[in-house]
Amino acid sequence: MLTRAELEMVIGVCQIHLRIRENHSLKEKRHVIRKLIDRVRHRFNVAISEVDDHDLWQRAQIGICTVGNDRRFVNSSLDKIIDFIEKMYLAEVIEKEIEIITF
């Protein structure tokens, strides 16, 4: 018989605000964001997309979502993704928000 913990669905949502320095056009921004999104998606197998600030040259907002059955694992995964993005040095993380939803 399955326990309550085994039936739990946990959704982790993260919004990251980025600053892209030394950027002079939307074309350059799209190149940086595409590279960042592709690397994160490939490495962590999460849903990720640019969600706001589409027309600003040096700003971007990225949304990330992951699903699991353990709250600590989902939170840890999002922390690792943020750390990975910071260590890529493609853009500066200026703000991050994580929300964990349990069903």
Task: Kindly report, residue by residue over 2-58, the tens digit of the pLDDT.
Answer: 565 566 899 999 999 999 988 899 999 999 999 999 999 999 999 999 999 989 999
Please report the pLDDT score of residue 5 as a whole number.
Answer: 53
Task: Kindly report, residue by residue over 66-77, the tens digit of the pLDDT.
Answer: 999 999 999 999
pTM: 0.89
Is 20-102 assigned to CATH 3.30.70.1120?
yes
Q: Which two tokens stand for residue 54?
A: 């589409």
Answer yes or no: are the C-beta atoms of 64 and 16 closer than 8 Å: yes
Average pLDDT over residues 72-83: 97
Please report the pLDDT score of residue 8 as a whole number.
Answer: 86
Q: Which residue reads 């349990």 in tokens? A: 102
d(C-alpha 21, C-alpha 16), whole Å: 16
